[in-house]
């Protein structure tokens, strides 16, 4: 499995320095955050960013993310169109789309139908840009798409959609990965659950490095490998405690932690 770093892990580091830190740590893939890209593009171009990514020895795995893609209104489409254009300019295969977090929307009996219809509306934009959507479920109770099976159902609405599975959200969902879900899997996000935190009470800040928490991440990856999957895995944390540290040191820790949970080859 090729390893990547989602730059949320070193969120407050300026994008050029974050790329350098990821490459220096030995990652070969990087997941870019859309807000950081938008800020950088006020002073540079996608072509210049592509050169910086290549100079760091990296390839772009995904652009993150269209949040609340299933909310009504035009915002998701506008966000996806912009991010898909960036992804295409960088030779990046996926734009990640994330479901809404709303207790009201999550309680609707037609939430998956609404999410499927929303994804279908994005399908022509993905086709036009030549990119694919990475549909990611969130294991939180107020998410509108909460499990691998639900994400797979929603992704079926588009010919240009794959699945993104986050080990943190997989643990929160209590679900497993069936063979069909593994077959549509594009990216695995690696994050553990901080020890002592109940899954039902977890928040994004409770993510920790793989192997340092309570989830069986190594077993999950071994199961995927046993099913024939050898796709990319990317460390994605949202731990504010890491953001004030040396990004080069954090990236090196993340690379070592990810390597330690990979299946033996």
Q: What's the CATH number where 255 sits? A: 3.20.20.150
Q: How many other CB atoms sit within 10 Å of the CB of residue 179?
A: 8
Give tens-digit pLDDT for 21-35: 999 999 999 999 999
**Token pair for residue 140?**
């939180």
Average pLDDT, rounded, for the chain? 96
- Asked, for residue 105, whether it belongs to a domain, the answer is yes
- Asked, for residue 52, whether it belongs to a domain, the answer is yes
The count of domains in the chain is 1
Domain that holds residue 172: 7-261
Is 184's pLDDT higher than 90?
A: no
pTM for this model (two decimals): 0.96
Q: Cα dist. 73→114, 118, 135 in Å?
A: 12, 10, 19
- Asked, for residue 246, whether it belongs to a domain, the answer is yes
- Asked, for residue 66, whether it belongs to a domain, the answer is yes
- Asked, for residue 2, whether it belongs to a domain, the answer is no
């Amino acid at each position: 499995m090729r390893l990547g770093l989602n730059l949320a892990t070193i969120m407050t580091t300026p994008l050029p320095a974050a790329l350098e830190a990821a490459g220096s740590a030995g990652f070969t893939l990087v997941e870019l955050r859309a807000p950081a890209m938008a800020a950088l593009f006020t002073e540079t171009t996608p072509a210049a960013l592509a050169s910086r990514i290549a100079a760091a020895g990296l390839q772009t795995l995904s652009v993150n993310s269209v949040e609340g893609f299933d909310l009504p209104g035009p915002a998701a489409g506008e966000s996806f169109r912009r991010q898909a254009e960036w992804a295409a300019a960088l030779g990046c295969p996926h734009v990640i789309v994330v479901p809404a977090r709303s207790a009201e929307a999550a309680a609707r009996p037609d939430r998956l139908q609404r999410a499927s219809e929303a994804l279908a509306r994005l399908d022509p934009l993905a086709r036009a840009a030549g990119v694919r959507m990475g549909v990611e479920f969130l294991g939180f109770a107020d998410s509108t798409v909460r499990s691998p099976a639900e994400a797979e159902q929603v992704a079926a609405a588009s010919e240009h959609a794959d699945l993104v599975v986050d080990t943190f959200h997989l643990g929160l969902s209590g679900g497993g990965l069936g063979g069909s879900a593994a077959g549509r899997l594009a990216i695995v996000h690696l994050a553990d659950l901080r020890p002592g935190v109940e899954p039902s009470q977890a928040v994004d800040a409770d993510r920790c490095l793989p192997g340092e928490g309570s989830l069986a991440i190594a077993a999950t990856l071994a199961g995927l490998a046993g099913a024939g999957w050898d796709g990319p895995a990317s460390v994605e944390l949202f731990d504010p405690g890491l953001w004030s540290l040396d990004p080069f040191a954090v990236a090196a820790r993340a690379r070592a932690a990810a390597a330690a949970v990979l299946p033996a080859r």
